[in-house]
C-alpha cells in the first residue's frame, strides 16, 4: 500500500513539476510560429530529462549521496568550480524568470503592475522555505500544479487533427524562418532539461531517505511522471498552434499567452491559465531556490536539509534567503519577464555539457553503484544526450543572436 | 588488502563529526616530514584558503580579497589530525566535536547574528531539531 502511495506521489510530483515558466512560454511560442512542427524537440527534451532524472535518482538511492556530492569528490574541487559557477548563474536567471511568471500572472489577475509583485512573491516563497519541510515544498506544489491538466482539456476540446500531431513527432526542417525555428528548438530543450531539475531530484532522494528499495519508485517517477508532464507541454503546443498559428499571431508578450485557453474554455480558461502560470512558477521558484542552496551546501560540505530548523543549517538557510530575495530584483526593476525567460532557456541549454557529461563517468562507477551501473541502453541514451548537450553548447548563443529577436 | 586511496577516497570527501554533523569537505591533505622517519599522513585540511590553492590563482586572489574585506584574522584552515579518522565510508567520520572548530566559524556566526534573530529559526544550541 505504501509503495503504491509513493508511486502515485512520484508521478504527481513529476507531472505537477514539469510545466513552469520556460516550458509554457517556449511551447506557446513554438505552437504559435510553427504549428506542431517543433513537437519532436519537446519529445527529445522530455525523454532526455526522464533518463537524466532516473540516473541521478538511482545514483542517490544506491549511494545515499547526492549528485553534487559525487561531482565534487569524483572530479575534484578544481573541476567542480566550473559546473558550480555556471549552474549558479543559469539557475539564478531561471529563478528570476519564474518570479517573473508568478508576477505576470498576478498582474493580469489584479491589474497591479508585475514589478510590484516580485518582492511579495519572493517573501511568500521564503516564508514557505523557512517554515515548511521538504515534503511540503515538493508535494504541495506538485498537487496544486495539477491545475496544469487544464491544458490537456483545452487541447482535446479544440479537436486537433491527431494524425498531424503524431506526424510531428518525427523531426522535420522548417520551410521558413530557419534561424527562429532552431532558436526555439534550443529554448525548448533548455526549458525541458534544466540542471536544477535533477539536482533537486537527487537531493530530494537523499532528503526522503531513499535506498535500493526505491529504485522502482525512481524509475516510475522519472519515466511515467515525465512522460505525462511532457504530454502537458505537448498540449500547450497543440493549443497554441490551433489558437495562434491559424490566426498568424506571434507571441511576444505574456499577456498574449494568457489568451491560449480563452478560445476552448472561455473566461474560465483565462482564469485557469493564470492559476496554472502562478502556481507552477511559484512551485519552481521554491525548487530552484532550494537547488541553489543544495548545490553550495553539498559542494562545500555544509550541513543541509530543508527538514532541519534554520538554526541547524545556518549557511544553507542564509543562501536560500539571499537568493530568493535577490532573484526578485530584476523583475522589481522592470526587466521584461518573457525576454528574461527566453534568455535563461538559451543559457541553460548551453550549460548542459557541464552537468550531463560527468554522468558518463559516475553512472559507470562500480565502486559506487555496484550492480546498478548503467546498462547498454542507459549508456546509449546518455551518450546521445551528452552529444546533444555539446551541440547545444556550440549552437545556443549564435542562435540566440540570429533567432532571438 | 584493500588500501585507501588518498586522492580517490579521502580528498574532497564529506567530513562528519562524531555526532554525524557535516563539518566540511577534505580540501587538502597534509603530510608530516621528519629527518629520520618516513613521511606520514598528518592531517586533513579544511577551509577556503587551502581550497583556493587547489582551484587556481584567481581563487587565491579572491580568497585574499574576501578575507581583507571581511577583516578575517584567523587563518581560516582547520587541521583535522588523521588519527581522528574513525571510518571512511559515504562520508569520513572523525572522532571530534564539530562545535568550536575553525571551519564552523562562519556557520556559527551566521546562526548567532543573523538566522536566530529571525522568528521561527529554532535554537542553535539544542541537539538535532527538525521542523
Nearest CA in chain A to B109: A314
> Taking CB atoms and an 8 Å limit, are A309 and B14 in contact across chains?
no
pLDDT at position B90: 86
pLDDT at position A1: 59
Determine, yes or no, domain membership for B68.
Answer: yes
Q: Inform me whether the C-beta atom of residue A65 falls under 8 Å from chain B C-beta atoms.
A: yes
The C-alpha of A338 sits at a distance from chain B's nearest C-alpha, in angstroms, of 34
pLDDT tens-place string over residues A326-385:
999 999 999 999 999 999 999 999 999 999 999 999 999 999 999 999 999 999 999 999
Determine, yes or no, domain membership for B74.
Answer: yes
- The answer on pLDDT for B96 being more than 70 is yes
C-alpha–C-alpha distance, residues A226 and A261, integer Å: 23
Q: Inform me whether the C-beta atom of residue A133 falls under 8 Å from chain B C-beta atoms.
A: yes
- The answer on pLDDT for B126 being more than 70 is no
> Taking CB atoms and an 8 Å limit, are B21 and A303 in contact across chains?
yes
CATH code where residue A245 lies: 1.20.1740.10
With a pLDDT cut of 90, the percent of chain A lying above it is: 82
Q: Per-residue confidence at A249, pLDDT binned at 50, 70, 90?
A: confident
C-alpha–C-alpha distance, residues B61 and A304, integer Å: 28
Q: Which of B110, B116, B117, B123 has the highest number of chain A CBs within 10 A, making it the mutation to test binding with A? A: B110
Q: Inform me whether the C-beta atom of residue A131 falls under 8 Å from chain B C-beta atoms.
A: yes
Average pLDDT over residues A157-182: 93
Q: What are phi and psi for residue B29, nearest 5 degrees?
A: -130, 130
Determine, yes or no, domain membership for B102.
Answer: yes
Determine, yes or no, domain membership for B122.
Answer: no
Give me the domain span that covers residue B46. 6-117
Instruction: Tell me which chain B residues have a C-beta less than 8 angstroms from the C-beta of A311.
Output: 111, 115-116, 121-124, 129
Give me the domain span that covers residue A320. 2-403
Q: Per-residue confidence at A405, pLDDT binned at 50, 70, 90?
A: low
What total of structural domains would you count in chain A? 1
What total of structural domains would you count in chain B? 1
pLDDT at position A211: 95
The C-alpha of B34 sits at a distance from chain A's nearest C-alpha, in angstroms, of 29
The C-alpha of A21 sits at a distance from chain B's nearest C-alpha, in angstroms, of 30
Nearest CA in chain A to B16: A301
Average pLDDT over residues A70-74: 96
> Taking CB atoms and an 8 Å limit, are A77 and B51 in contact across chains?
yes
- Compute the residue count for chain A: 405
Q: What is the pTM (predicted TM-score) of this model?
A: 0.95
Q: Which of A66, A310, A319, A324 has the highest number of chain B CBs within 10 A, making it the mutation to test binding with B? A: A310
C-alpha–C-alpha distance, residues A209 and A190, integer Å: 29
Residues facing B94 on adjacent strands:
B85
> Taking CB atoms and an 8 Å limit, are A303 and B54 in contact across chains?
no
Chain B contact residues (CB < 8 Å to A): 11-15, 21-25, 27, 46, 51, 54-56, 59, 90, 106-108, 110-111, 114-116, 118, 120-124, 128-131
Average pLDDT over residues A36-57: 96
In this structure, what DSSP letter does residue B116 have? G
Strands B28-34 and B37-46, by their bridges, are antiparallel
- The answer on pLDDT for A3 being more than 80 is no
Q: Which of B11, B13, B25, B93 has the highest number of chain A CBs within 10 A, making it the mutation to test binding with A? A: B25
pLDDT tens-place string over residues B25-49:
999 999 999 888 899 999 999 999 9
Nearest CA in chain A to B27: A77
Which residue, chain included where needed, has cell 588488502?
B1
CATH code where residue B13 lies: 2.30.30.240
CB pairs under 8 A between A and B: 95
User: Would the CA dihedral through B72, B73, B75, B81 be positive or negative?
Assistant: negative
Q: Per-residue confidence at B12, pLDDT binned at 50, 70, 90?
A: very high
Q: A135-139, A310-314, A340-344, B78-82: lowest mean pLDDT where?
A: A135-139
pLDDT at position A69: 97
Instruction: Tell me which chain B residues have a C-beta less than 8 angstroms from the C-beta of A308.
Output: 128-131
Nearest CA in chain A to B55: A78
Nearest by CB: A309 against B25, B110, B122: B122
Nearest to A16 by CA among A140, A188, A162: A140
pLDDT mean across residues, chain A:
93
Is residue A204 exposed (0-12), middle (13-18) or buried (19+ Cβ within 10 Å)?
buried
Determine, yes or no, domain membership for B130.
Answer: no
Determine, yes or no, domain membership for B1.
Answer: no
pLDDT at position B1: 44
The C-alpha of A297 sits at a distance from chain B's nearest C-alpha, in angstroms, of 9
Residue with the bigger pLDDT between A239 and B90: it is A239
C-alpha–C-alpha distance, residues A284 and A368, integer Å: 30
Average pLDDT over residues A87-103: 97
- Which distant-in-sequence residues (6+ apart) come within 8 Å of B25 by Cβ? A72, A73, A77, A300, A301, B12, B13, B14, B15, B46
With a pLDDT cut of 70, the percent of chain B lying above it is: 95
Which residue, chain included where needed, has cell 568550536?
B100
pLDDT tens-place string over residues A185-240:
999 999 999 999 989 999 999 999 999 999 999 999 899 889 889 999 999 999 99
> Taking CB atoms and an 8 Å limit, are A301 and B123 in contact across chains?
no
> Taking CB atoms and an 8 Å limit, are B120 and A130 in contact across chains?
yes
Q: Per-residue confidence at A89, pLDDT binned at 50, 70, 90?
A: very high
Give the distance between the most distant pair of CA atoms in chain B: 59
pLDDT at position A60: 97
Determine, yes or no, domain membership for B125.
Answer: no
Instruction: Tell me which chain B residues have a C-beta less than 8 angstroms from the C-beta of A79.
Output: none
Q: Per-residue confidence at A246, pLDDT binned at 50, 70, 90?
A: confident
- The answer on pLDDT for A284 being more than 90 is yes
> Taking CB atoms and an 8 Å limit, are B22 and A77 in contact across chains?
no
Residue with the bigger pLDDT between B131 and A218: it is A218
- The answer on pLDDT for B125 being more than 70 is no
Amino acid at each position: 500500500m505504501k509503495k503504491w502511495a509513493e508511486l502515485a506521489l512520484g508521478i504527481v510530483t513529476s507531472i505537477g513539476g514539469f510545466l513552469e515558466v520556460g516550458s509554457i512560454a517556449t511551447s506557446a511560442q513554438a505552437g504559435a510560429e510553427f504549428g506542431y512542427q517543433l513537437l519532436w524537440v519537446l519529445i527529445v527534451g522530455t525523454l532526455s530529462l526522464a533518463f537524466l532524472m532516473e540516473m541521478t535518482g538511482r545514483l542517490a538511492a544506491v549511494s545515499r549521496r547526492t549528485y553534487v556530492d559525487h561531482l565534487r569528490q569524483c572530479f575534484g574541487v578544481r573541476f567542480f568550480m566550473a559546473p558550480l559557477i555556471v549552474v549558479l548563474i543559469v539557475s539564478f536567471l531561471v529563478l528570476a524568470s519564474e518570479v517573473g511568471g508568478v508576477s505576470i500572472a498576478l498582474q493580469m489577475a489584479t491589474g497591479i503592475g508585475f514589478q510590484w509583485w516580485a518582492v511579495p512573491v519572493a517573501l511568500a516563497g521564503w516564508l514557505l522555505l523557512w517554515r515548511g519541510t521538504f515534503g511540503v515544498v515538493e508535494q504541495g506544489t506538485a498537487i496544486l500544479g495539477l491545475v496544469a491538466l487544464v491544458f490537456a482539456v483545452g487541447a482535446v476540446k479544440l479537436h486537433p487533427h491527431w494524425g498531424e500531431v503524431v506526424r510531428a513527432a518525427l523531426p522535420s526542417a522548417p520551410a521558413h524562418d530557419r534561424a527562429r525555428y532552431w532558436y526555439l528548438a534550443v529554448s525548448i530543450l533548455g526549458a525541458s532539461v534544466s540542471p536544477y531539475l535533477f539536482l533537486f531530484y537527487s537531493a530530494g532522494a537523499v532528503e526522503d531517505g531513499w535506498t535500493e528499495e526505491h529504485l522502482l519508485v525512481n524509475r516510475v517517477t522519472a519515466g511515467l511522471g515525465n512522460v505525462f508532464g511532457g504530454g502537458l507541454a505537448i498540449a500547450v503546443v497543440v493549443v497554441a498552434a490551433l489558437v495562434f498559428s491559424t490566426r498568424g499571431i506571434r507571441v511576444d508578450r505574456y499577456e498574449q499567452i494568457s489568451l491560449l485557453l480563452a478560445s476552448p474554455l472561455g473566461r474560465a480558461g483565462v482564469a485557469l491559465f493564470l492559476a496554472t502560470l502562478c502556481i507552477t512558477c511559484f512551485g519552481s521558484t521554491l525548487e530552484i531556490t532550494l537547488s541553489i542552496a543544495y548545490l553550495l551546501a553539498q559542494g562545500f560540505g555544509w550541513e543541509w536539509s530543508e527538514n532541519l530548523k534554520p538554526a541547524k543549517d545556518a549557511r544553507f538557510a542564509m543562501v536560500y534567503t539571499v537568493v530568493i530575495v535577490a532573484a526578485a530584483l530584476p523583475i522589481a526593476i522592470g526587466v521584461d519577464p518573457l525576454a528574461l525567460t527566453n534568455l535563461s532557456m538559451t543559457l541553460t541549454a548551453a550549460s548542459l555539457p557541464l552537468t550531463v557529461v560527468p554522468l558518463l563517468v559516475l553512472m559507470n562507477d562500480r565502486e559506487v553503484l555496484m550492480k546498478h551501473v548503467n546498462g547498454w541502453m542507459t549508456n546509449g541514451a546518455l551518450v546521445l544526450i551528452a552529444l546533444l548537450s555539446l551541440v547545444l553548447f556550440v549552437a545556443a548563443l549564435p542562435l540566440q543572436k540570429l533567432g532571438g529577436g | 588488502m584493500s588500501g585507501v586511496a588518498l586522492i580517490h577516497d579521502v580528498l574532497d570527501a564529506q567530513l562528519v563529526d562524531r555526532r554525524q554533523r557535516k563539518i566540511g569537505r577534505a580540501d587538502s591533505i597534509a603530510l608530516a616530514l621528519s629527518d629520520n622517519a618516513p613521511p606520514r599522513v598528518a592531517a586533513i585540511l579544511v577551509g577556503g584558503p587551502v581550497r583556493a590553492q587547489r582551484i587556481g590563482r584567481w581563487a587565491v586572489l579572491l580568497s585574499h580579497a574576501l578575507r581583507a574585506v571581511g577583516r578575517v584574522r584567523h587563518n581560516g584552515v582547520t587541521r583535522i589530525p588523521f588519527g581522528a579518522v574513525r571510518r571512511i565510508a559515504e562520508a569520513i567520520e572523525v572522532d571530534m566535536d564539530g562545535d568550536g572548530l575553525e571551519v564552523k566559524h562562519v556557520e556559527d556566526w551566521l546562526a548567532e547574528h543573523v538566522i536566530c534573530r529571525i522568528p521561527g529559526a529554532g535554537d542553535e544550541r539544542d541537539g538535532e531539531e527538525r521542523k
